[in-house]
């Protein structure tokens, strides 16, 4: 799977993050590809439209992947995420058996945008690498951050205007 075009595939996930934003959702996107680099699933964040704080792009993607593909098939895939998977999404990735992840914007880069000007923001600072490392011998390969400036663009201006529902 080392022959995959990370830039092109990651740009598709970034495009999905912009699509999510245009629909009023948080700007995150994710895709799942097979070992040949063919996109087999796409998902966007649907937190706002679902009124569900757990409807992250990666979790939406993983739920659909578990419905469609066997555990063995999932182990042969790569997930591309516009932004580093949060602890919840990394945990779901691990449990679904997806063992390769490529992401754009880092967690730290995202927090630099989302917490700006907010007093006492709710953040769970736990990198996906830390979550995956807890998996012991069930290793998950992680590549990222990549294309951080491109992955950052859908977030610019979104979070300063966003107000989390009480």
Residues 6+ apart with CB under 8 A from 147: 7, 10, 11, 14, 104
Told to judge if 107 belongs to the known catalytic residues of this protein, a careful annotator would answer no
Q: 122: helix, coil or strand? A: coil
- The candidate with the shortest Cα–Cα distance to 26, out of 43, 51, 48, 7, is 48
Q: Which of 58, 107, 119, 150 is catalytic?
A: 58
Residues in the chain: 166
Task: Give the closest residue to 15 by CA, choosing from 4, 34, 30.
Answer: 30
Please, which residues bridge with residue 30 across strands?
A: 43, 81
The SS3 call for residue 88 is helix
Residues annotated as part of the active site: 58
């Amino acid at each position: 799977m080392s022959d995959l075009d990370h830039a092109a595939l990651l740009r598709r996930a970034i495009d999905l993050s912009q699509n999510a934003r245009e629909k009023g959702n948080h700007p995150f996107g994710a895709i799942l590809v097979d070992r040949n680099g063919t996109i087999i699933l796409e998902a966007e964040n649907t937190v706002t439209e679902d009124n569900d704080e757990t409807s992250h792009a990666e979790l939406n993607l993983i739920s659909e992947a578990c419905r469609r593909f066997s555990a063995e098939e999932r182990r042969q895939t790569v997930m591309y995420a516009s932004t580093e998977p949060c602890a919840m999404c990394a945990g779901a990735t691990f449990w679904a058996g997806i063992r390769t992840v490529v992401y754009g914007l880092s967690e730290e880069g995202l927090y630099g945008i989302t917490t700006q000007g907010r007093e006492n923001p709710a953040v769970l600072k736990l990198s996906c690498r830390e979550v995956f490392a807890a998996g012991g011998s069930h290793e998950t390969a992680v590549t990222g951050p990549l294309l951080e400036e491109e992955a950052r663009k859908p977030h610019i201006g979104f979070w300063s205007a966003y107000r989390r529902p009480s």
